[in-house]
Chains A and B, each alone.
Chain A
Amino acid sequence: MASILAVDDSASMRQMVTFTLKGAGYDVTEAKDGMEALQIAKSNSYNLVITDINMPNMDGITLTKELRSLPTYKFTPILTLTTESSADKKMAGKQAGATGWIVKPFNPDQLLATVKKVLG
């Protein structure tokens, strides 16, 4: 089954994302900020990365840029979690190389639908 790296500094969001995706049979690894995610990503490979944008240590935009610069993650789908109001954040994510975004707030069904869309 596809493996997913879920990055968010908020524990409740991580819990929710993990719970939903694991429930659908995906293999989920959590990271609490960009720095941790990058480290984990370097020693593993994932079919999809879902990352929050505003995080301490390393934000989601920087993480996306860093991941894209790694050969392993050149084409890996990366989704940013972004709030409705920040249209420019979606764009910043895209410019950094993100595949797309999931708009917060989202419910488990929406998350799953989006992930399925990307992973097929």
Chain B
Amino acid sequence: MAQFHQTFFEESFEGLDIMENELLNLDVGNADNESINTIFRSAHSIKGGSGTFGFTAIAEFTHVAETLLDEMRDGVRQVDQVSVDLLLKSVDVMRDMLTVYKDGGDMDADNIAAVQTELENLLGAGGSSTSADDSGSTTENTASAGWIISFKPHVEMLRTGNDPIRMLHALSELGEIEVVADISELPTFADFNPEDSFISWEITLTGDIKKEDVTEVFDWVEDECDLDIKPIASESESPAFESSETTPADVEASSTKQPAAKQAAAKKGGGESASIRVGIDKVDEIINLVGELVITQSMLGQIGGEIGSDADHNSNRMEKLLEGLAQLERNTREIQESVMRIRMLPISFVFSRVPRLVHDLSGKLNKKVELVTLGESTELDKTVMEKIGDPMVHLVRNALDHGIETPEQRLEAGKPETGTLTLNAYHKGGSIVIEITDDGAGVNKERVLNKARANGLVGENEVLSDDAINDLIFNPGLSTAETLSDVSGRGVGMDVVRKNIKSLGGSVRVDSVEGKGSVFTIQLPLTLAILDGQLVKVAEETFVVPLVSIIESIQVKAENLNGIAGKADLYKLRDEYIPVIRADHVFGMSNSQASLNDRLMVVVEGDGKKAGIIVDDLLAQQQVVIKSLETNYQRVDGLSGATILGDGTVALILDIAGIIDMFKEKSAPVPPAPKGNGTDSDIADEAA
């Protein structure tokens, strides 16, 4: 049976999504029948499947939820907010249970029981208990020397596809059988209709046979025949089984008492589908191998180019070789892209969590919110997707809690009563951009600034640009505590959101206009497996600087350099000052204090902070395959990974934000470099 589990999980999770969606869209008080039907059907399928595949806990729980849905479907129960919310909760419980069955772990038995009790309470005291009817242990071991069965099919029995002969045959397998046919009702040939049934039988069945085995033979036709089953009169007769009636309970008890499951015989399966499921580890393995292939290919290309340039005596064959290498490069590139696409999933996987969140939160906060989602089919890497969910949900929470105002406040501010939350995703270069826009109150700059001043994050007289003030909300020390609530005040702050996004190589920023709303913009790399990098040379070693973090590369001019005594250099780049980082120092490759004049400096930005990294040479720009240092060695501060270059050497990939942080620690306490207009008095004085 296990071979069907994967399909079962897949369709059940889909079913739960359907249920959730339909429940959220349900017009409470005036529910659409088709929607209720759809919800019911999903629950019903999950129940059926989970029972069949042995996930009894889900089957039992779902049964109760299904009963509630059944009542709604039959119009016995109003579709009200209370039941819809409870059903949504049930969906969560079912999803959790499925996840536990699928991935292992522990069931939250308390929660399951609590929700089930709520359901049962709603259904009323008489709420049909889950397993009352299916564990019917009416083990009626009624055996006798045999049975006398009077079987008279109704005229129309054949028309349900039931053949009396089949039943006689089945009875004959139970014991010794003697059959007497009564053909007295048989009409004359002229009146004979072959579609009707006219014969009745008197059957004597002898042997040690349970009554339920006999009734089971007739269970489908109890309404289509006159049936009388009596024990053969004998000394064993007892009043206990005088009754010859077949009750539904008997039928059910017998049909569930089949022998335990054995393995189905053959090995040929019959699954057809337009997609196949494969383990992510297999895909990762291919990606890894393709990575190796890319390296091998670029190595060959490099050697080919070198040989080609000094081998004109054999030029014809050489040309062919170079052509072949060029084709290899194209093919390799295409394979790499195709393989990368396997891991790509539409962002709707993450967006789909939001409607429910908005529903629950707006209810809790008494706010009216309309959710708009755009660009749901925008694809990104599965790994990135899995990690962006939580930060994004946090930003949505934040927008609902702190952004969008209550209907009263909105009306007062001359806005429509219902606020709008927009999720938008689109590709931009090698990144995916996710925007979370609300038309709420916006960031209260004054309050943020006051708070930052009180915490010593911003100097008393420091003047900050609007952007810089907005950016303060990502600072760990800055939670506008007076608005802390149980909705977003869960101990996870904006700083954690930024940290998590940063760890994915992405960035987050906020633009906000007071009274009009805010836009949170998350920018993420499409994949964590490859990276567009600038190769640079530092003290004979090659490093990779992620292209996304490079702003420009310049030649250092001594007059723009300002040394802070014994600490760090600052470089005046147009109207701002950026710290100068000597990569060779950071990685302990040299301690040279040689003048920086005329040296090359790559200006980078990581986590909103700019810095200049001094390098010896700028080499090629190329796409590199990221190899994890953690997996192959250990984490190293300032490095995000490594790659293998065409010539086979290993190059380390710089973690720009990490290096800037390291540098800050080493050279602390350097006053925070002013962002934007650079009016910070301390530094301006130093520079002067």
Chain A interface (Cβ < 8 Å from any Cβ of B): 9-13, 15-16, 18-20, 22-24, 28, 30, 52, 54-56, 68, 74-78, 81, 83-85, 87, 91, 94, 97-101, 103-110, 112-113, 117-118, 120
Complex-state Cα separation, A15 to B2, whole angstroms: 11
Smallest beta-carbon distance A56→chain B, Å: 7
Q: Which residues on the A side are within 8 Å of B63 (C-beta)?
A: 85
> In the complex, are the beta carbons of A24 and B51 less than 8 A apart?
no
Partner of A104, one of B48, B128, B260: B48
CA distance A11 to B162 in the complex (A): 28
- Tell me if B133 counts as interface (CB < 8 A to partner A): yes
Q: Does B248 belong to the interface (CB within 8 Å)?
A: yes
Bound complex: CA A120 to CA B161 (Å): 13
Check A22 against B161 for contact (C-beta < 8 Å).
Answer: no
A16 in contact with B4 given A99-B160, A105-B59, A108-B261 (CB within 8 Å): yes
Interface residues on B, range: 35 or more
Bound form: Cα–Cα A42–B355 in Å:
43
B166 touches A109 (CB 8 A): no
- B contact set with A: CB distance below 8 Å: 1, 3-5, 7-8, 10-11, 38, 40-41, 44-45, 47-49, 51-53, 59, 63, 67, 128, 133-134, 158-162, 166, 169-170, 195, 219-221, 223-224, 248, 252, 255-256, 258-262, 264-271, 273
B4 adjacent to A74 (CB under 8 Å): no
Contact A97 B160 (CB under 8 A): yes
Give every chain A residue within 8 A of B162 (Cβ-Cβ).
77, 99-100
Choice from B47, B255, B264 contacting A108 with Cβ under 8 Å: B264
Query: Chain B CB within 10 Å — which of A19, A108, A113 has the most?
Result: A19
Measured CB to CB, the closest approach of chain A to B674, in angstroms, equals 60
A–B complex contacts, Cβ < 8 Å, 29 sampled: A9-B41, A9-B45, A10-B11, A11-B10, A16-B1, A16-B4, A19-B266, A23-B268, A30-B270, A54-B45, A55-B41, A75-B158, A76-B161, A81-B48, A83-B48, A83-B51, A84-B134, A85-B63, A85-B134, A91-B223, A97-B161, A98-B161, A100-B162, A100-B219, A105-B52, A107-B1, A107-B52, A108-B1, A118-B161
Taking a contact as CB atoms under 8 Å apart, the answer to whether B269 and A19 are in contact is: yes
- The reply to whether B44 and A54 contact each other, CB–CB distance below 8 Å, is yes
In whole angstroms, what is the CA distance A68 to B161 when docked? 9
A23 touches B264 (CB 8 A): yes
In the bound complex, do residue B49 and residue A99 qualify as a contact, i.e. CB atoms below 8 Å apart?
A: no
Q: Are A15 and B270 in contact (CB under 8 A)?
A: yes
CB distance from B163 to the nearest CB of A (A): 8
Contacts of B219 in A (CB 8 A): 100
Complex: how many Å from CA A12 to CA B256?
Answer: 21
Query: What A residues does B224 contact at CB under 8 A?
Result: 94
The docked-state distance in angstroms from the alpha carbon of A10 to that of B52 is 12
Known: A101-B220, A103-B256, A109-B259. A15 touches B133 (CB 8 A): no
Q: Is the CB of B44 within 8 A of A16?
A: no
Closest-by-CB residue of B relative to A103 is B255
- Among A12, A15, A23, A120, the residue within 8 A (CB) of B265 is A23
Q: Which residues of B contact A117 (CB under 8 A)?
A: 166, 170
Q: How far is the CB of B101 from chain A (nearest CB, A)?
A: 13
Q: Is the CB of A15 within 8 A of B4?
A: yes
Q: A15-B269, A113-B258 are in contact. Are A10 and B49 (CB under 8 A)?
A: yes
Q: Kindly list chain B residues whose C-beta atoms are within 8 Å of the C-beta of A87.
A: 248
Selected contact of A84 from candidates B133, B169, B268, CB within 8 Å: B133
Return the 3 tightest CB-CB contacts between A and B, nearest first: A105-B51, A23-B266, A100-B220
Q: How far is the CB of B57 from chain A (nearest CB, A)?
A: 13
In the bound complex, residues from chain B placing their C-beta under 8 Å from that of A98 are 160-161
Given A15-B271, A85-B63: A54 and B4 interface contact (C-beta under 8 Å): no
Evaluate contact between A83 and B3: CB separation under 8 angstroms.
no
Let me know if B38 and A56 touch, CB within 8 A.
yes
Find out whether the CB atom of A20 lies under 8 angstroms from the CB atom of B161.
Answer: no
Please indicate the chain B residues that have their CB under 8 angstroms from the CB of A10 in the complex: 8, 11, 45, 48-49
**Which chain B residues lie closer than 8 Å to A112 at the CB level?**
264
Residue ID in chain B nearest A100 by CB atoms: B220
Inter-chain contacts of A78 with B (CB < 8 A): 160-161
Distance to closest chain B CB from A110 (angstroms): 5
- Give the interface centre of A11, A75, A104 by most chain B CB atoms within 10 Å: A11
Q: Which residues of A lie under 8 Å from residue B52 when comparing CB positions?
A: 13, 16, 104-107
What chain B residues lie within 8 Å of A85 (beta carbons)? 63, 67, 128, 133-134
* Complex Cα spacing A11 to B169, Å: 34
Whether B264 lies near A104 (C-beta < 8 A) is no
B166 touches A12 (CB 8 A): no
Q: How far is the CB of A93 from chain B (nearest CB, A)?
A: 10
Structural contact, A68 and B4, CB atoms closer than 8 A:
no
Query: How distant is A14 from chain B, measured CB to nearest CB, in Å?
Result: 8
Given A99-B161, A99-B162, A105-B52, CB of A83 within 8 Å of CB of B262:
no
Distance (whole angstroms) from the CB of A24 to the closest CB of chain B? 7
